[in-house]
Amino acid sequence: MVKKELSIIALSKSNSSQGNFALILEEVNGDRRIPIIIGPFEAQAIAIALEKLEITRPLTHDLMLQILERGQTQLIEVVISELRDDVFIAELVINNNGIPERIDARSSDAIALAIRKPCKIYTYEAVLEEAGFTNDAVKALPKGVRPLEDYSVKELKNLLDEALEKEDYERAQKIKEVLNKK
């Protein structure tokens, strides 16, 4: 099976599953995305790692990585291996004292670990074909809305603050990308 590398592009409240969050992964060197619906606690664990926030005590995922590493086991990669009954199934690929092994995991936990390690996140072409979508941002804009590129740096910073306050991480990521180009 052909593996495709994924990157995290957004974490935002889910419109389709109230109280949950959507983690959007995008194919590296491609335009397909997969949305993974995760709970609020998993979203918080991922957001903390993405933002590189300093915390006083280790969270569960930090603790797990410490245990793995002290036991001479290294996390090599994470693979979103299949979509079964609308649930993404993941595997941790580890090196256990020189022996490669795969461990079944929830996709949100696997990704939270991958961010902290850091290690690459992959999926298979078949998963992208089944669950992937492309996003044409221009078509998705409502009529009368200015493209982000037309805003000043000051306006973009204000929009970024508003998006973060609303925990709209997908929009915040888009705004940050435009800000970085200016």
Residue 111: which of 1, 37, 15 has the closest Cα?
37
State the total domains in the chain: 2
Instruction: Tell me: do 75 and 146 sit in the same domain.
Output: no
**Model pLDDT, residue 140:** 47
Instruction: Tell me: do 104 and 25 sit in the same domain.
Output: yes
Domain boundary among 117, 135, 153: 135
**Model pLDDT, residue 137:** 41
Main-chain dihedrals φ then ψ at residue 56, nearest 5 degrees: -75, -30
Instruction: Tell me: do 67 and 110 sit in the same domain.
Output: yes
Asked whether the beta carbons of 6 and 27 are under 8 A apart, the reply is yes
Instruction: Tell me: do 99 and 176 sit in the same domain.
Output: no
Domain boundary among 118, 135, 152: 135
Instruction: Tell me: do 105 and 155 sit in the same domain.
Output: no
Residue 75: which of 51, 53, 49, 101 has the closest Cα?
101
**Model pLDDT, residue 144:** 41
**Model pLDDT, residue 146:** 58
**Model pLDDT, residue 136:** 58
Regions of the chain short of the pLDDT cut 50: 137-145
Query: What's the 3-state SS for 39-77?
Result: CHHHHHHHHHHHCCCCCCCCCHHHHHHHHHHHCCEEEEE
CB neighbour list of residue 98: distance below 8 Å, 6 or more residues apart:
none
The model's pTM is 0.73
3-state SS, residue 124: strand
| Domain containing residue 165 | 136-182
Instruction: Tell me: do 62 and 107 sit in the same domain.
Output: yes
Q: What is the CATH number of the domain that holds 34?
A: 3.10.690.10
Asked whether the beta carbons of 83 and 131 are under 8 A apart, the reply is yes
Instruction: Tell me: do 79 and 155 sit in the same domain.
Output: no
Instruction: Tell me: do 174 and 119 sit in the same domain.
Output: no
**Model pLDDT, residue 143:** 40
**Model pLDDT, residue 141:** 38
Instruction: Tell me: do 29 and 111 sit in the same domain.
Output: yes
Asked whether the beta carbons of 30 and 15 are under 8 A apart, the reply is no
- The distance from CA 21 to its chain's CA centroid, rounded to whole angstroms, is 11
Instruction: Tell me: do 66 and 126 sit in the same domain.
Output: yes
